[in-house]
Amino acid sequence: MADRYSRQKLFKPIGTVGQQKIGEKHILILGCGALGTANAENLVRAGIGKLTIIDRDYVEFSNLHRQHLFTEQDAIDQIPKVIAAKSKLEAINSNVLIEAHILDATAVTLRPLLKEVDLVIDATDNFDTRLMMNDLLQQLHIPWIYGTCVGSTGMSYTILPKQTPCLHCLLDAAPPNGATCDSAGIISPAVQMVVAHQTTEALKLLIGDSDSLRTTLVTFDLWNNHYQMIKVDKAMDSACPACGMDATYPYLHYEATTKTEILCGRNTVQIRANREMQLAELANHLKSVGQVKGNDFLLSLDYQSYRVVFFQDGRTLIHGTDSIENAKKIYYQLVG
């Protein structure tokens, strides 16, 4: 049989030695949506030794325009994303060991899965999970590659514990705008641009070519023809609670987590974030989702078959469900 990696080995920075290293490494991808499936396919085709994929969701028709590996039948059958992805990935390369986990990633559930992981790729859909992951990976000294996209825009950055600014540092320097795919939409080329950066950085790390790593935060807007590399090394903060000299890893503590509870007899789930809501900003990015009503204390939105009420103190009520998992999904679709 012809060498399936022959063209990749002809690329001098990888070569035969680099290909062998790729085949010995273990990557974990957190999230199996647009970024997750495309990165997973790239890495499986590249010959990664072991791949762990984690996601709590199932395939829906609204996923199909941008999320690789899924089919209409997967959406009809509501197959969990990691199960559908695992099946397709094994058909692409049966030599790769693939572990699929249907779970809600927390510091408790994620920690045991990180044993002997060489690299993590961020493919999550919310900053609560990212900040938890950032703290955990800083604590465990595991590198990871941040990536996010919405509309026609995206960004990516490679985070090396104790060597580069962590996500907490970056967000202090450049806070996110809060837009989500459900409020602003997304086009698939934006996904592919982020994935191109993430997978390439992953290959560099896998073969040990640290000199070729991109040291800047890359941002782009494909529709408006913007592309920028931003130097962020000065954002590294020695007092950062996640990567500083006296790190406390705040997002691993219970008081910093987003909390949920079912309100008895009301068919409602309450979600309590660890921060106050900026109602004016939230109303602005929700206006494309539906009619937003509110006052100085709360916002109300009818979304799909649910009524969602956001309070200034950080609480959100999801009326129309008694499922915590479903409520969290709706919350992150809207809040990001």
pLDDT at 185: 87
What is the pLDDT, as a whole number, of residue 249?
Answer: 95
Q: Which of 272, 333, 274 is nearest to 57 (CA)?
A: 333
Is residue 125 predicted with pLDDT exceeding 90? no
Per the model's pLDDT, the better-predicted residue between 278 and 138 turns out to be 138
Kindly tell me if the per-residue pLDDT of 1 is higher than 60. no
Q: Give percent of the chain with pLDDT exceeding 70.
A: 97
Residue 96: CB partners within 8 Å, gap ≥ 6? Answer: 44, 47, 48, 49, 50, 51, 89, 90
Average pLDDT, the chain: 91
Residues in Cβ contact with 163 at an 8 Å cutoff, skipping those fewer than 6 apart: none
- For residue 274, the tally of other CB atoms under 10 A from its CB is 16
Q: What is the DSSP string of 176-204?
A: -----HHHH-B-HHHHHHHHHHHHHHHHH
Contacts of 53 by beta carbon, 8 Å cutoff, 6+ apart: 28, 29, 32, 36, 40, 82, 85, 86, 98, 99, 100, 101
Distance CA 124, CA 278 (A): 22
**Mean per-residue pLDDT for 236-246?**
93
**Please, is 265 exposed, middle or buried when counting C-beta atoms within 10 Å of its C-beta (0-12, 13-18, 19+)?**
exposed
Read off the pLDDT of residues 177-199 as tens digits, 9 standing for 90 and up.
667 777 788 999 999 999 999 99
Angle at 166 between CA 129 and CA 274, to 5 degrees: 40
H or E element at residue 122: strand 119-122
* pLDDT over threshold 90, residue 83: yes
- Domains (range + CATH), the chain: 6-251 (3.40.50.720), 258-335 (3.30.310.10)
- Rounded Cα–Cα distance for residues 274 and 256 (Å): 6
- At residue 164, the pLDDT reads 96
Q: What is the pLDDT of residue 172?
A: 80
pLDDT of amino acid 58 = 87
Contact 32, 79 (CB under 8 A): no
CB 97 within 8 A of CB 49: yes
* 8 band by pLDDT with thresholds 50, 70 and 90: very high
Please determine, for residue 152, whether its predicted confidence score (pLDDT) is greater than 80: yes
